[in-house]
Structure 1
Amino acid sequence: MDQRAFRSGESASDPTRGSGDIRIECIWRGPAELGECPIWDERRQRLFWIDSLQCRIWCCDASGRDLHHWQLPEVIGSIGLREDGGFVAGLASGFALVDLASGDEARIERIGDPEPDLADTRLNDGKVDRQGRFWCGSMNRDFAEPNASLYRLEETLSWQKVDSGITVSNGLAFSLDGATLYFSDSRVDRSYRYDLDQQSGALSNRRAFIDTGSYRGRIDGATVDARGNYWGALFEGGAIGCFSPQGDLLHHIGLPVSCPTMCAFGGERMNALYVTSATFSLDHKKLAREPQAGGLFAIHGLNAQGIPEPRFKGEPRGRGN
């Protein structure tokens, strides 16, 4: 398939194209320094996301109203919904369980640091799989060397290193049947598929997934829709790309910001695509050209639908573990 950079609204045998126009709405201006990890909680009908570098978890309703945030004591890379209503998180200091108190401070139970001897890494992108395990990769803080790794956090709150030689972990998502893990090492612009044994959590058969060499941007955060297509934020490419399970570009949606970071489906019908963005890499001239940089966006009219996110099955220590 021709993988040229499609303009917003153009299509390549596009299953996502609806009869109406695609509409992009900035529902929260922020700006976030590093917005990340939007996740729709269908039980509470709320959207949660983080500002990694400002150490905050944010939430709002489907339209961006009823805003609230909670402060954390350190940088946060990712969150996943937890079965008991809280979150599992990848913090700068390691894995943790997070509960959102009634005030503005989050309650944290630290699990452990998988890389205690590496001062130049921290945990970054993370997702819960169909079996209720939390997968989270680390990143080199300076984007300088491939000394980061990918981890699997079990229900028992123990973890296992499953791959290494990574610079910046991103793009984590799972196929609908749970048998494939998608992953991006974004700073070296490599995207992979792995076979995933759902019972053991073992990975095998790593192979190339998306070739982004023929268009702008690199895969940052991602999600999978109800058809099994993979939607990825193209950081520094100013767009969202929709890809088939084989890695073919199906649709390219231009955004009013150059640095989208992650996307997730949500809303009452799970048919809005929420997109976070960042400002940390933009100078004053670029910020002036992008007044909505760092904002949270909702994309409507995609003729695509998401599925509810799985929930982490691990519980705080002292509660049966």
Structure 2
Amino acid sequence: MNISTWQAELSVDSRCELGEGPQWHASSGRLYWCDILGKRLHWHSPATAESGHYLLDQKVSLAAPLDNGGLLLVGEHSLTRFEPDSGTATHFADFEADNPVTRSNDARVDRHGSLWLSSMGKQAEPNAGSLYRLHRGKLEKLRTGLTIPNALCFSPNGAAAYFTDTPTGMVMRWALDDQGWPIDDPVPFADFSNHTGNPDGAVMDSQGCLWLALWGAGQVVRLNAQGQVIGRIDLPTSQPSCPAFAGADLKTLFITTAQEGFTPDQLAQEPDAGALFSVQLDIAGLAEPPLRLT
């Protein structure tokens, strides 16, 4: 099979310890992403090339745009409404607040404007994580016994969700009903258990193909509807964590990276680890709806 290849370029030298959760906020023209371990929320405006960050009081893994303005921060022990203009944060709901072992991890808004979000052990404790759906303000648990839940994304028609428990190397496909709730059990979609690198964050494009970060491999791969690799982006750093489409035409793929666990020698070999990278594509992303809380 012919595999298309691209080379990612440095976009913002954010030097995150654990960059994660890139999310395009179309109404403000900003891409937001998090340094989970550094407790920072970063932003970048592709149109103006401006960028900056906010300091946070907890580990946050996603800033989801809300349909009535502002952001919902997915944090290690709470969900918080955040107003970027003023920096005001307002508690919305607890999130595993009674469990000191876990923090939030991957999250993404589905086709119905609901938020899927996951937890994991702060030391990646086996089976400590869970998967939830926040639907119209009510948080419901979908799955438990996960270690590092990742790769949350959704088919263009909303009929399927995708996710992985990273240590398994297996990306799963989960059929959804017309309200976006899971049907039956998830089934295997793509197997990376014998591949260099582990499946991490993912996003869907407008053609129904899934772009998957391979942590440890320095790659983001594009998978077709059959789970076959049909494209590859190479990065100059080994720990890409999650991709997201952004920009007015949704043809720029941004990729967060990390330097988590690096020794000084590794940092010297990968000086851009933790930065935000980008690739210009002739493939458009899939516009994601803002989060509805009511």
Output the TM-score relative to the length of structure 2: 0.94
Residue 128 (structure 1) aligns with: 109
Whichever residue aligns with residue 21 of structure 2, its letter is: C
Compute the displacement of 1:142 (Å).
1.3
Residue 146 (structure 1) aligns with: 127
Residue 241 (structure 2) aligns with: 261
What whole-Å deviation, never above 9, does each CA across 1:153-189 have from its counterpart, x for those lacking one? 121x221111111001110000000010000111332
What whole-Å deviation, never above 9, does each CA across 1:210-251 have from its counterpart, x for those lacking one? 111232111111100010000011111100011112211111
C-alpha separation in 1, matches of 2:146 and 2:170: 10
* Alignment counterpart, residue 27 of structure 1, candidates 11, 15, 21: 11
1:306 aligns with 2:285: yes
- Correspondence list, 1:111-122, <5 A: 111-113=93-95, 115-122=96-103
* Alignment counterpart, residue 234 of structure 1, candidates 204, 210, 214: 214
Residue 71 (structure 2) aligns with: 87
Compute the displacement of 1:23 (Å).
4.7
Compute the displacement of 1:281 (Å).
2.0
**Aligned with 1:142: secondary structure?**
coil
C-alpha separation in 2, matches of 1:61 and 1:75: 23
Residue 278 (structure 1) aligns with: 258
- Correspondence list, 1:51-70, <5 A: 51-62=35-46, 65-70=49-54
Contact 1:27 1:64 in 2 (8 A): no
C-alpha separation in 1, matches of 2:71 and 2:153: 17
**Unaligned ranges ≥5, structure 1:** 1-11, 316-321
Contact 1:97 1:111 in 2 (8 A): no
Residue 319 (structure 1) aligns with: none
C-alpha separation in 1, matches of 2:52 and 2:235: 25
1:97 aligns with 2:76: no
Q: Mean Cα displacement is larger for which, 216-225 or 139-148?
A: 139-148
Contact 1:79 1:127 in 2 (8 A): no
Residue 144 (structure 2) aligns with: 164
Whichever residue aligns with residue 43 of structure 2, its letter is: C
C-alpha separation in 2, matches of 1:23 and 1:268: 21
Contact 2:19 2:33 in 1 (8 A): yes
C-alpha separation in 1, matches of 2:267 and 2:273: 7
Identity fraction in percent: 30
What whole-Å deviation, never above 9, does each CA across 1:87-118 have from its counterpart, x for those lacking one? 2232011333222233xx441323122x3443
C-alpha separation in 2, matches of 1:296 and 1:184: 23
Larger Rg: 1
**Aligned with 2:265: secondary structure?**
helix
Residue 173 (structure 2) aligns with: 193
Whichever residue aligns with residue 138 of structure 1, its letter is: S
Residue 43 (structure 1) aligns with: 27
C-alpha separation in 2, matches of 1:234 and 1:193: 18
**Count of residue pairs the alignment pairs up:** 294
Residue 159 (structure 2) aligns with: 179
* Alignment counterpart, residue 292 of structure 1, candidates 272, 275, 278: 272
Q: Mean Cα displacement is larger for which, 160-169 or 139-148?
A: 139-148
**Aligned with 2:190: secondary structure?**
coil
**Aligned with 1:205: secondary structure?**
coil
**Aligned with 1:176: secondary structure?**
coil
Whichever residue aligns with residue 163 of structure 1, its letter is: R
Compute the displacement of 1:45 (Å).
1.8
C-alpha separation in 2, matches of 1:52 and 1:64: 25
RMSD across aligned C-alpha pairs, in angstroms?
A: 1.8
Whichever residue aligns with residue 133 of structure 1, its letter is: S
Where is the strand percentage greater, Structure 1 or Structure 2? Answer: 2
Q: Which runs of 4+ in 1 moved over 6 A?
A: none
Compute the displacement of 1:53 (Å).
1.2
Contact 2:159 2:180 in 1 (8 A): no
**Unaligned ranges ≥5, structure 2:** none
Query: Structure 1's 226 and 200: CA in aligned 2 closer, same or farther, altered over 3 A?
Result: closer
